[in-house]
Amino acid sequence: MKEIIDETLKLARLDDVGHTIEPVDIVLFDEIESIIENNKVLLDENEFIIENNIDNKLHAMADKFQFGELINNFITNAIKYTPDEQKGIIKINATVKDDFVEVSFTDNGVGMSESQISHVFDKFYKFGTPRNGMNSSGLGLAICENIINKHGGQIRVESSGPGNGCTFYFTLKSK
C-alpha cells in the first residue's frame, strides 16, 4: 500500500504544471553506474547482471533526481517481470541521433504482447504477476513516461512477444 501511495505522489508532483525540472550536463555512463551501485543489493539478491555498454564520453541533459527515478524504475521493473528461475540480464546502450541521445534498456524478462505494449505507460496498468511476491503499483512506467516528456524526449517499448523480453527506448537532449 505504501508503494502505491509513494508512486501516486511522485506522479502527482510530475503532473503539476508548476513542477519544473533542472537539467544539467550528465555523463550517462557514470550516472547509470552510480544508480547500479545503489541497487547492488537488490540486483545480487535477484541474481541480475547489468551490462552498461554506454560510451563513457557520452553526455546528455537531465535532471539528476528524475534521471535516477527513471533508471531505478527500469531496473526494478526488469527484476519484477523476469521469471524466478531465470537469471536476469539487463543491457544498456546509447546512440546519438541528431540533437538527442537514445538510450535502450533491454531485459530478458517475460516480454509483452502488442496489446500489453499499447497500455504499458497507462497509469495503474499491470501486465503480469511480479516475481517473488514483489509489489507493483502499476505506476512505474507512467512515471517514466512523464519524466521523459518533462525532458522533451520520447519513450517507447518493443517486444517480440511473451517470453522474449523487452527493450525500452528513451531520448534525452544531448550536450
Query: pLDDT tens per residue, the chain (175 residues)?
Result: 455 455 455 555 555 556 688 999 999 999 999 999 999 999 999 999 999 999 999 999 999 999 999 999 999 999 988 888 889 999 999 999 999 999 999 999 999 999 999 999 999 877 766 666 666 778 899 999 999 999 999 999 999 999 999 999 999 999 8
Residue 141 host element (H or E): helix 140-150
pTM value is 0.87
Residue 52 host element (H or E): strand 48-52
CATH number at residue 67: 3.30.565.10
Torsion of CA 70, 41, 157, 30, to 10 degrees: 60
Contact 58, 27 (CB under 8 A): yes
How far apart (Å, rounded) are the C-alpha atoms in residues 166 and 144? 15
CB neighbours (10 Å) of residue 164?
Answer: 14
Structure letter (DSSP) for residue 17: T
Distances (CA, A) of 6 to 120, 139, 140: 19, 10, 11
Per the structure, how many domains does the chain have?
Answer: 1
How far apart (Å, rounded) are the C-alpha atoms in residues 15 and 150? 9
* Domain hosting residue 153, numbered range: 2-173
